Chain A
Amino acid sequence: MARVVLEVRDVTKRFGGLVAVRDMVFDVHQNEVLGIIGPNGSGKSTMINMISGTFPPSAGSIRLNGQEIAGKPAHRIARQGVARTFQLVRLLPELSVVENVVAGAAFGHRQRWGAEAESFARQLLERVGMGRQVNMPVSSLTYINTKRVELARALACEPEVLLLDEWLAGLNPTELETGIDLIKSLRDDGRTIILVEHVMDAIRSLCDRCVVMSSGAKIAEGTPADVLSDTEVIRAYLGADEDA
């Protein structure tokens, strides 16, 4: 088995009296695409936010290449090699498309600046399928292209782990196909990715393994085929028998 890049151990997050994530344990291996799935409100985004440093866990440990990152500020974690996209796309509206990507390259895990950063950004934009629109203002982009730019910005950090928080959400069927192919090609590049996703097709075709969360706890872990046929998982998604 490949080397463990990210190690999550007994991570818990409480918001006041509400336990959003409870004793989560999982590993992410190098070159692996791990899906975190589960019904709405099951704590997936909270988990992602703790890994990326949006807020600290209440308890537990998160290690990146053996180094503790739990509770560190987001910019430190980013420099150590975690890059992310956001559930609701966040671009920098006053910056051009290229500058948006340079923003990821200039301060992230492997820092680039000046002409080198710009050519790297252009290369990545090409990579995500945005070769021609690099000088356009961000406001004129189509929805899928805003997602592409955000993805390129995350890639520009050259992260050890890439977090995609519902990157495929909101795409129409044609775009979805393009999107899945794009993520697949990133996987083939050997990137390590954590994917929070609702789209079942994407989970089946992209994830090597899945962690299923329900009410903040892990209820299953394994290959997509295995977990999606797990009775507890089905119950979590479709409700208990008495509700059905």
Chain B
Amino acid sequence: MITLRDIRNLLLAAAALGLAALLPFYDSGYILSIATTMAMFTVLATSWALFSGPTHYISLSTAAFFGLGTFVTGLGFQTLPRGRLPLIAAGIGAVLAAVVGLVTLRLSGVYFVIFTLGLAELVRQLVTWVQNRTGQRGMYVLTSITERDIYWQLIGLAALVFLLGWLIGRSRLGFALRIIGNDETVAKHSGIDTAMAKIVLFMNSGAVAAVVGALLAPRYIYIEPSTAFAPILSFQVVIMALLGGTGRLWGPLAGVIPFTILWEFISRHAPNQTLLLLGVAFLLIVYVLPGGFVGLYDRLRRRFGAWGQ
């Protein structure tokens, strides 16, 4: 059932995305570059939150999927049709996520976190090993794709991820995930195939991260395992999503925007202090903003009453 409120929200989201899509006409330099980074993290953090938000399974494997995506483009951009690369990346990401999910999603809590962190490192080592065996080093991704193209592709992908998240939120699958996040035992005994539900969502976030990697490869120009699979990316995504809050679909976005601006500012003026920002944001989430900005917004709204009433 679609209510008036749903229609209003859909229109608002479409308008916001449409507005964001106009940005390259305003600026094609520095601001576009930051906006592209924001779009990238918006897609990554939102799809991450679709899985980790309701289930409370903190995954640190974004870098693994992202890195694979960049390598799909790096290896295939000269021989394969360009439109097919993101699809291949999505397929590989989904399959890897399914395999990892089958093995690890019965692990809970900190064990799952550690495994996913290790996964990115494992994939990186594997790729490095293959490269050493074949005598390859890094690779150049020299294309005619501009920042503007990448930005628009990311905006399109963001629209897709938001739509998917909205649909999942209304579906039985979304409800099942909330139950799993609350009490997995109850979920099982209520008839929910908990492993399947978790794997489907984990595959989704894995596939999306791989597509983002595939789309962004031309931006890096030179790809090598140590940068493509850099674990910092996984941490950035987690911190941004939690800072914004995973309780709402727009939550991660609310974390991505301020965090990216701050990150950009700090890396320009004090490039060695970016990790400090990560740490401070983490402390802030733990001690002050347990539900992120979304949680804060909900608390304020409860205190001062709903808007317009």
- A residues with CB within 8 A of B: 52-54, 73-75, 78-79, 83-84, 86, 90-95, 102-104, 106-109, 111, 113-115, 153, 157
Question: Do B189 and A95 have beta carbons less than 8 Å apart?
Answer: no
Q: How many residues of B contact A (CB 8 A)?
A: 19
**Closest B-chain residue to A115, C-beta based?**
B1
With contact pairs A92-B186, A114-B1 given, residues A75 and B179 touching in the complex (Cβ less than 8 Å): no
Question: Do A157 and B182 have beta carbons less than 8 Å apart?
Answer: no
With contact pairs A95-B182, A106-B175, A115-B1 given, residues A157 and B188 touching in the complex (Cβ less than 8 Å): no
New A-B contacts (18) at CB < 8 Å, excluding given A75-B187, A103-B186: A53-B188, A54-B189, A75-B188, A78-B189, A92-B179, A92-B182, A92-B183, A95-B179, A102-B175, A103-B175, A104-B190, A106-B172, A106-B190, A107-B176, A107-B192, A109-B191, A115-B1, A157-B191
In the bound complex, what is the Cα–Cα distance between A1 and B183 (angstroms)? 39
- How many A-B pairs have beta carbons closer than 8 Å: the answer is 71
Question: Do A83 and B189 have beta carbons less than 8 Å apart?
Answer: yes
Nearest first, the 10 A-B pairs at minimum CB distance are A107-B191, A78-B191, A92-B182, A74-B188, A108-B191, A79-B191, A107-B192, A75-B193, A103-B179, A90-B186
**Closest A-chain residue to B247, C-beta based?**
A94
In the bound complex, what is the Cα–Cα distance between A83 and B192 (angstroms)? 12
- B residues with CB within 8 A of A: 1, 172, 175-176, 178-179, 181-183, 185-194
With contact pairs A75-B193, A103-B190, A113-B172 given, residues A90 and B1 touching in the complex (Cβ less than 8 Å): no
Question: Do B172 and A74 have beta carbons less than 8 Å apart?
Answer: no
With contact pairs A90-B183, A95-B182, A114-B1 given, residues A78 and B175 touching in the complex (Cβ less than 8 Å): no
Q: List chain B residues, Cβ under 8 A from A90.
A: 183, 185-186
In the bound complex, what is the Cα–Cα distance between A157 and B189 (angstroms)? 10
**Closest A-chain residue to B179, C-beta based?**
A103
B2–chain A nearest beta-carbon distance, Å: 12
CB<8 Å pairs between A and B, sample of 25: A54-B189, A74-B188, A74-B189, A75-B187, A75-B190, A75-B192, A79-B191, A86-B186, A90-B186, A92-B179, A92-B183, A92-B186, A93-B182, A95-B178, A103-B179, A103-B187, A104-B190, A106-B175, A107-B190, A107-B192, A108-B190, A108-B191, A109-B191, A111-B191, A114-B1
**Closest B-chain residue to A93, C-beta based?**
B182
Q: List chain B residues, Cβ under 8 A from A95.
A: 178-179, 182
Question: Do A75 and B191 have beta carbons less than 8 Å apart?
Answer: yes
With contact pairs A94-B181, A95-B178, A114-B1 given, residues A84 and B172 touching in the complex (Cβ less than 8 Å): no
- Complex partner residue of A107 from B172, B178, B181, B183, CB under 8 angstroms: B172
In the bound complex, what is the Cα–Cα distance between A15 and B253 (angstroms)? 49
In the bound complex, what is the Cα–Cα distance between A83 and B186 (angstroms)? 10
In the bound complex, what is the Cα–Cα distance between A91 and B192 (angstroms)? 15
In the bound complex, what is the Cα–Cα distance between A114 and B172 (angstroms)? 9
**Closest A-chain residue to B54, C-beta based?**
A94
With contact pairs A107-B172, A107-B176 given, residues A157 and B190 touching in the complex (Cβ less than 8 Å): yes
Q: List chain A residues, Cβ under 8 A from B189.
A: 52-54, 74-75, 78, 83-84
A95–chain B nearest beta-carbon distance, Å: 6
Q: List chain B residues, Cβ under 8 A from A113.
A: 172
**Closest A-chain residue to B180, C-beta based?**
A92
B244–chain A nearest beta-carbon distance, Å: 18
With contact pairs A90-B185, A114-B1 given, residues A75 and B194 touching in the complex (Cβ less than 8 Å): yes
In the bound complex, what is the Cα–Cα distance between A115 and B189 (angstroms)? 23
In the bound complex, what is the Cα–Cα distance between A111 and B189 (angstroms)? 14
Question: Do A73 and B175 have beta carbons less than 8 Å apart?
Answer: no
Question: Do B179 and A78 have beta carbons less than 8 Å apart?
Answer: no
Q: List chain B residues, Cβ under 8 A from A104.
A: 190
In the bound complex, what is the Cα–Cα distance between A214 and B139 (angstroms)? 71
Q: List chain B residues, Cβ under 8 A from A94.
A: 178, 181-182
Question: Do B190 and A78 have beta carbons less than 8 Å apart?
Answer: yes
